[in-house]
Structure formats: C-alpha cells, structure tokens
C-alpha cells in the first residue's frame, strides 16, 4: 500500500511592499515538519514584485505538501 501523501493543510502568509519595488512575504516556518506540535519560527522571502514573491511562496508550499497558501493583509 502506498504511503499517505495527503496535504498538510493551508500555509498562511502575508505580503507587503516594504519599499518601492521590494515585496516581502511572511509566513511561519516549522522547526520539525514531522512534529506538528513543534513551535514555528517566522520566515520570509523578498522579491522585486508582488507576483514573484507569491509565486515563490506558493511553489515552496506545494513542495512541502501544503494544500494552498492563504494570503492575508495584502497591502500596496
């Protein structure tokens, strides 16, 4: 029987423009993905456009097994 590869749920993230032409996505990074009770640390990614930063976070999340990214507090 194949190993269970079900998604881990949703990754919650926010994106904002920190200065003109520089966008930061912030989300929680897990210390130990095998232990859902382990604490999480803030993590972020920078890019030169809102689209690029979102694409990077969404691809990273899919690669880690998340179902989707839920974006909060989007500011321009």
pLDDT (0 to 100) of residue 68: 93
pLDDT (0 to 100) of residue 1: 41
Q: What does the pLDDT look like over 23-72, one tens digit per residue?
A: 999 998 765 556 655 667 788 999 999 999 999 999 999 998 899 999 99
Q: Where are the domains of the chain?
A: 10-72
Tally of CB atoms within 10 A around 57: 23
pLDDT (0 to 100) of residue 29: 75
3-state SS string for 25-64: EEEEEECCCCCCCCCEEEEEEEECCHHHHHHHHHHHHHHC
């Amino acid at each position: 029987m194949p190993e269970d590869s079900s998604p881990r749920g949703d990754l919650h993230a926010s994106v904002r423009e920190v200065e003109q032409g520089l966008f930061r996505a912030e989300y929680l990074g897990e210390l130990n993905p095998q232990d859902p009770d382990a604490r999480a640390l803030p993590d972020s990614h920078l890019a030169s456009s809102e689209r690029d930063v979102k694409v990077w976070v969404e691809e990273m999340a899919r690669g880690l097994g998340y179902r989707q990214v839920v974006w909060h507090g989007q500011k321009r």
